[in-house]
Homo-oligomer: A and B are copies of this chain.
């Protein structure tokens, strides 16, 4: 028991420890610098340990990256699902889509280094790592397709738009905000209103207003 206590104290000096702490700093670095620029040495240094010590927690760099990618999707998926399912029954298409868009943008821009790291580095990681992340991605995409299909069946969305295509357009547009979003210029909350409005109503001036 005294041995355990000593161990815990001796770890207490460093900021983030353990497998989870390593993933936290890795996600942050990947988000900020991309995949290629972040070496195991950088991750270790940010976690307050030496590079070799990472191999106690992980078997390879790929394993670290894969874990970050998976968590990134899980976070945004949970956020979006909960936001939509929390709406009162009979909520209109506008409000439903706005809730989903808002949840996605908040996870991406406000909440999670994991989600933003995923969006930023997915196209940079080795093929095997991308493949490992695909099932998790598919589940999130299915959640969006279900929402959009429901709205279309209710007659709220144009009947001639392809759901898969619409989802690709929407998520692609939302993820692209990562490249230029600046919290000093406006909130993710305000952004989500703009995106929902543009996608729902377009940008054309209308006579019926």
Where the two chains meet, the residues of A that have a C-beta atom closer than 8 Å to any C-beta of B are 34-36, 93-94, 120, 123-124, 155-159, 161, 165-166, 168-169, 172-173, 175-177, 179-180, 194-195, 198-205, 208
Contacts and interface: CB of A to CB of B under 8 A. Distances in A.
Candidate in A36, A166, A169, A200 with the most chain B CB atoms within 10 angstroms: A169
Contact of A158 (B120, B165, B205): B205
Assembly stoichiometry (copies)? 2
Classify the interface of chain A: helix, strand, loop or mixed. helix
Contact of A179 (B94, B123, B205): B123
- For the complex of A and B, the 4 pairs showing the least CB-CB separation, nearest first, are A172-B176, A36-B36, A202-B202, A173-B173
B124 A155 contact: no
Contacts of A205: 155-159
A180 B173 contact: no
Contacts of A200: 202-204
